[in-house]
Amino acid sequence: MEIRNELASLLDEVLCLNGRAHRFTPATPLLGAIPEFDSMAVVVLITTLEERFGFAIDDDEIDGTVFATFGTLIDFVQAKLLPCEDSA
C-alpha cells in the first residue's frame, strides 16, 4: 500500500478537495492552511484513519503537530502501521 496516495485520497474524500490533495507535497501545510480542514474535519479524519488503516488512535497520541503538514501526517500513519507490519 502506498501510504502517500492513500492519505491523499482520504483527505480528498474527507475534506471534499476534488483532487487537490494529490498535488500535496510533504511540506504542504494542512491545519490552519486549508479552510476545509477545521476541528470537525480533524475528528472525521481520525475516525476515517482508524477505519481505513485498522489501528486505534489514543487521545494522547494526537496534537496539532500531527496535522501540521502532509508529511507529518504521513509520518504519523507510517509509525502507527509499523507495529502491525512487524507482527505480521
Residue 44 predicted with pLDDT over 90: yes
Nearest 5°: phi and psi at 69?
-140, 170
What b/e string do you get for 52-66 counting C-beta neighbours within 10 Å, with b at 16 or more? ebeeebeeeeeeeeb
Cα–Cα nearest to 65, from 34, 32, 41, 40 = 32
Q: Is the pLDDT of residue 66 over 60?
A: yes
* Domain total of the chain: 1
Q: What is the pLDDT of residues 54-64, one digit of tens each?
A: 999 999 999 99
| pLDDT range class, residue 82, cuts 50, 70, 90 | confident
Q: What is the pTM of this model?
A: 0.89
What's the CATH number where 21 sits?
1.10.1200.10
Helix axes 39-53, 3-15, angle to 10 degrees: 140
Residue-number span of the structural domain to which 27 is assigned = 3-87
